[in-house]
Amino acid sequence: MIEFNKVSVRRDGRVLFSDATFQIHPGQKVGLTGNNGTGKSTLFGVILTYMGERTTDELTVDAGNISIPSGWEVAHMAQEVEGSSQPAIDYVLSGDKEWYELNGKMMAPDSLTDDEIAQLYQRFDDIDGYRTPTTAAQIMAGLGFQPNQHELPVNDFSGGWRMRLNLAKTLMSRADLLLLDEPTNHLDLDAILWLEDWIAKFDGTVLLISHDQTFLDATIGYILHVENQRLTMYTGNYSQFVRTRSERLAQQQQAYEKQETTRAHLEDFVRRFRAKASKAKQAQSRLKQLERMADLSPIMADNPFTFQFYEPSHMSSPLITLKSADIGYSDTPILKNASLQITPDTRIGLLGMNGAGKSTLIKALVGELEPLTGSYKVSDTLHIGYFNQHQMDSLDAEATPMIMMRRIAGKTSDAELRSFLGSFDFRGDRIDTPSKLFSGGERARLTLALIVWQKPNVLVLDEPTNHLDLQMRQALTMALQGFAGAVVLVSHDRELIANVCDELYLVHAGKLNEFEGDVSDYGKWLSEQRKSDAKYAAKESRDAKSASNEAAKKAEAERKAAEAKAKALAEEPQLNKEERRKLAAEQRKLTAPIRKRIEQAENKLDKLAIGLNALEQKLADTTLYEDARKDELLKLLDEQTTLEQQQSKLEEEMLMAMTELEQYEQ
């Protein structure tokens, strides 16, 4: 097990941990939480240094003792990936260090003795090395990579997709201890749901840093919380930790008064507007917030973020109307016949697989992409607040938050602007710091601040929480619940979707349709869709292979028949009937064994085809893909692989025999 005993760590002259004592037992999955800057990543660095995995910027302890089993292998998801010409699939496979080394030796057997080769293949078989490339492909598929991307060099991928490759490489390792630092930052909801399942099935120990509450709830059973230079272990998932900590904070009068004030404000809003049709949905949002008040209070009690969206200056309905629109690029539509109307009380969450067209739809809604067909109309009062990664990246790198605010704030006093920026936790020197020195989270907060100040009546948010910590996510949730305008949201944060959105729309197979159900139902739909897609792809592959083999056989047979006929016609004038009969009999005698081999191969191939067809029927059973029947599924897949290998070998033998027969007949 991992044991810290009265450990103290100081970095850059500041004490991060003092007298830290805790234990993590084998197989436990632990979430590491705490405010930004409290030392979560430093704790990872200390563990990696202790295990000899950190070669630069080693982190040592100032006091105390650390104990970790010496035989443990650790895998760590780094936050940066250097460019490389290495194919993506090879980069991922290199995460399994032993397999990668063994496979490299198998590719160059000339330098090995027969005994070394025998041991090599035995070990390769022991670690199930023949299935490792399939495992790598499955991990890449789960994280959103398409098969045609496997051979692309790492250099061809953007920063976010390189991070996915790095995560895939980490998951390929045969680690006893897995350290994951914000693994969901560059993932969409589909990939996050897949990763949850993967972690749940992982047998080793996991230490995980994440600001995604739902992800933590689904993956971990313990919380190690960093606060006031102390590390405290809590039993249970994140929601249970929140409740436990809430009980402690509820004893503090300040937290209690803040919660009661917020509760009174929400109850007053619901009481005044619940019966008013135009405000009914917003009242429902306040009710949701009241129901979750106990969960929110421990985070919000010491939350430095307290912003709210201003009341829009102008409002009309509808604000945006998209009707019967084909949306895409050049003449190629990504979405067909899409219709959507945005009114002041619209609160839509967009769901869909990676690449389905969610971002394309958003670009059409904000006017960046003109529909190929159909109509796009907006109100004269429309004022869009648009948040996406591009907005963050386009911040003036040399300008400070104060300078950027001054550009849009007119005659507003410096004191008011400083107070406003303070609600986004820009205080002291950070107000006058150029944005190029900001972290991703600070750039995201500054982008939101600039949007809030401009009083939009429609918020279009594309993954707004990617770089935000839990406290800022909670503040954003509460601010959006109080927003008086429309919201269109794409996010992998299911808590945000559940607490902000009243309607869900699914982008799938080129269509936009309202989704019946909640975010958890989308997870179930996605699981079924993946099974269906996998079976369809497998069938397409088998059909294509079978058609190719049949076509090759037919073409070969036709070619040989034509050659034999031409040869017979050429020789016919030179031989009389009796001579030709004797020659044919002699050829039949000489080629009889070869013809026998061809006949036997054809009979065996017919039997294999029957066996493969029977397996295909079994694999078409949808219940076979449930976790309870995993072993049965793997057995059938192994059997299918064996039969396909036998089929390929027999086809090769038959073609060789046919070539040999052709040579005799020349």
The CATH number linked to 132 is 3.40.50.300
Contact, 590 vs 661, CB < 8 A?
A: no
Contact, 204 vs 177, CB < 8 A?
A: yes
Q: Cα(220)–Cα(236) distance, rounded to whole angstroms?
A: 8
**Strand arrangement, sheet containing 384-387:** 384-387, 458-462, 486-490, 347-351, 503-508, 511-514
pLDDT score at 323: 96
Q: Cα(340)–Cα(557) distance, rounded to whole angstroms?
A: 58
Q: Are residues 273 and 400 in the same domain?
A: no
Helix (H, G, I), strand (E, B) or coil at 332: strand
Q: Which amino acid is at 412?
A: T
Q: Cα(299)–Cα(297) distance, rounded to whole angstroms?
A: 5
In a domain, 280, yes or no: yes
In a domain, 305, yes or no: no
pLDDT score at 296: 45
Q: Are residues 425 and 347 in the same domain?
A: yes
Question: What letters, b where the CB count within 10 A reaches 16 and e where it falls short, cover 551-589?
Answer: eebeeeeeeeeeeeeeeeeeeeeeeeeeeeeeeeeeeee
pLDDT tens per residue across span 177-213: 999 998 998 888 889 999 999 999 999 999 999 988 8
pLDDT score at 169: 94
Nearest to 541 by CA among 628, 616, 481: 616
Q: Are residues 97 and 217 in the same domain?
A: yes
Q: Are residues 501 and 621 in the same domain?
A: no
Domain that holds residue 68: 2-245
pLDDT score at 188: 87
Q: Within 127-252, where are the H helices? A: 132-142, 159-172, 189-201, 213-219, 238-249
Q: Are residues 473 and 621 in the same domain?
A: no
pLDDT score at 368: 92
Q: Are residues 140 and 192 in the same domain?
A: yes
Ranges in the chain, pLDDT < 70? 54-58, 78-81, 249-260, 265-266, 269, 272-304, 533-590, 620, 622, 624-627, 630, 661-666
Token reading at 295: 């969960």
Q: Which amino acid is at 153?
A: P
Nearest to 88 by CA among 142, 137, 159: 137
Q: Are residues 276 and 349 in the same domain?
A: no
Q: Are residues 350 and 482 in the same domain?
A: yes
Quick one: CA dihedral 464, 469, 474, 475, positive or negative?
A: negative
Listed residues 268, 300, 332: the one ending a domain? 300
How many whole angstroms from its chain centre is CA 88? 16
**Can you give the length of the chain in residues?**
666
pLDDT score at 300: 47
pLDDT score at 546: 62
Residues 6+ apart with CB under 8 A from 281: 345, 347, 502
Listed residues 245, 267, 285: the one ending a domain? 245
Q: Are residues 327 and 237 in the same domain?
A: no
In a domain, 115, yes or no: yes
* Packing angle of the helix pair 253-273, 293-300 (nearest 10 deg): 130
In a domain, 496, yes or no: yes
pLDDT score at 641: 77
Residues 6+ apart with CB under 8 A from 587: 664, 665
The domain total for the chain is: 4
Q: Within 55-179, where are the H helices? A: 88-93, 97-106, 114-126, 132-142, 159-172
How many whole angstroms from its chain centre is CA 407? 38
Alpha-carbon Rg for the chain in angstroms: 32
In a domain, 521, yes or no: no
Helix (H, G, I), strand (E, B) or coil at 489: strand
pLDDT tens per residue across span 401-444: 999 999 999 889 999 999 999 988 898 999 999 999 988 888 98
Listed residues 484, 516, 548: the one ending a domain? 516
Q: Within 366-501, where are the H helices? A: 389-393, 401-409, 414-422, 440-453, 470-481, 494-500
Token reading at 219: 């993956």
Q: Are residues 655 and 564 in the same domain?
A: yes
Nearest to 12 by CA among 68, 57, 71, 69: 57
pTM greater than 0.75:
no
pLDDT score at 299: 47
Q: Cα(246)–Cα(406) distance, rounded to whole angstroms?
A: 39
Q: Are residues 69 and 144 in the same domain?
A: yes
In a domain, 309, yes or no: no
Q: Are residues 23 and 155 in the same domain?
A: yes
In a domain, 525, yes or no: no
In a domain, 177, yes or no: yes
